[in-house]
Amino acid sequence: MEIKYAVIGTGAIGGYYGAKLAQHHKDVHFLLHSDYDHVKSYGLKIESCDGNFELEQPNIYHDIAEMPKCDVVLVALKTTHNEILKDYLPQITHRDSIVIMIQNGLGVEHDLVNWLPNLNVCGALAFIAATKIGKGLIKHLDLGRIMIGTYNFECNKMLLRAISDFNESGIPAKLSNNLQRARWEKLVWNIAFNGPTVVLNTLTDQLMLNEFSRKMVYDLMLEVIKGAQAVGVGLEQTYADKMMAMTDKMKPYAPSMKVDFDHHRAMEIRYIYTVPIEVARASGYHMKKVELIEKQLYFIANK
């Protein structure tokens, strides 16, 4: 079974995963806006810790209406742009298409299914350090695995084939049998590092090296774990220890929210902070320290 892929959101994450698939001869179609002319002339380039490569003539489109119907759509937009999916996705999907939401935060699948109830929707967690450093140029710094879980349909042959395609393309991919747990696991890291790197105007390594900010990060992780436990997700404190150890080994990194802030773009506060806070509170737990970071982020965003 050969799958036709679409990538909506050809930034650091969508660009990297789509390029890896295309590099290994998968049929991938990219939607581009500001980078379209540059990529058409010079191709899509990946500078990777695993080896640099480029796509000289990728399948690129400036208009969603020109894209073919695809079997699997990788959505790697910033969640601040998700409203456009109401118009985009019906144009490039068929009855059996699968939409994989490679996005941060909690609640993105819920909102998409409310808008487009007939879609087969997955959530995906990308454990990767990558950033877009120029037009048609993505820098992959570290990691790269992806966890995919179904949201509103049963796992089928097409999804299993897509996961196999990822692995064949050098992307470690696994099927999660508990998407809610996977989302909360990713939040443990995202909540602890995205907001604080913005509020303190720093990178991950500096947060880890300073004793006071290191304790803040760890306390935020523990609070997210308690929030997860409140909604029935059985995370343990040892998961925070695991995330701390992983971050100690990472190269200095600006999380996605810090990159957006530095480039004067809207930050993904709602799905990374607000929705988890609301969901945990509805289950009887108030993530007070997380809420403090959330309020600071809204203040910074509205200055």
Q: Are 67 and 88 in contact (CB under 8 A)?
A: no
Taking Cα atoms as reference points, which of 125, 124, 127 lies closest to residue 246? 127
Q: Are 291 and 278 in contact (CB under 8 A)?
A: no
Rounded Cα distance between 123 and 146, Å, is 10
Tell me the longest C-alpha to C-alpha distance in the chain: 55
Instruction: Write the CB contacts of 242 (distance below 8 Å, at least 6 apart in sequence).
Output: none
Listed as own residue / partner, the contacts of 256-259 with beta carbons closer than 8 Å and 24 or more positions apart are 256/12, 256/78, 256/104, 256/194, 257/194, 257/195, 257/197, 257/198, 257/297, 258/194, 258/197, 258/198, 258/203, 259/131
Residue with tokens 């909506």: 8
Would you list the DSSP string of 195-244? HHHHHTT--HHHHHHSHHHHHHHHHHHHHHHHHHHHTT----HHHHHHHH
Instruction: Write the CB contacts of 248 (distance below 8 Å, at least 6 apart in sequence).
Output: 208
Rounded Cα distance between 136 and 160, Å, is 30
State the catalytic residue, choosing from 20, 26, 78, 186.
186
Rounded Cα distance between 141 and 48, Å, is 6
Taking Cα atoms as reference points, which of 130, 211, 200, 133 lies closest to residue 171? 130
What three-state secondary structure class fits 143? strand
Tell me the β-bridge partners of 125: 147
Confirm whether 40 is a catalytic residue: no
Q: Which residues are catalytic?
A: 186
